[in-house]
Amino acid sequence: MYIIGIGSEIVECLRIAQMIDRYGELFVERIFTNQEVKFCAARTAATQNYASHWAAKEAVAKALGIRQLVGFRWRDIEICHPPEGPVSVRLGGRARELAERRGMAQMNVSLAFCRTHATAHAIALGASQE
């Protein structure tokens, strides 16, 4: 494996809470997939979970080198929480196309939050070129 890209993001949870309060479902549906909404909304710390997912999407986009990819949607990056195992990433649409073009074989992501901030790190890995 070799590193294609690394991304990192930190966000204030209050900022995400304000976006949700201001734009409501329009914001949530534009940014998060149905599975992400289901996961975050079911948590006691829903705002912090939304913020950590936002940070993870930003980190993944940075790891892939997405700046202003035409046709890219935030829902093209889905943060998944399998019952067993680590958090994973599912790519669709233009994000998936870019990952394939860059030779990405795996995306590792880590999320964390406290009451006030959420952070995430992502590493895009390519298959070994042996």
**pTM metric for this prediction:** 0.92
Q: How confident is the model at residue 43 (pLDDT cuts 50, 70, 90)?
A: very high
Domain count, the chain: 1
Domain containing residue 59: CATH number: 3.90.470.20
What does the mean pLDDT of the chain come to? 93
pLDDT band at 72 (very low <50, low <70, confident <90, very high): confident
Render 9-64 in DSSP notation, one character per residue: EEEEHHHHHHHHHHHTHHHHHHHS-HHHHHHHHTSTTHHHHHHHHHHHHHHHHHHH
Segments forming the whole domain that contains residue 53: 2-126
pLDDT at 84: 87
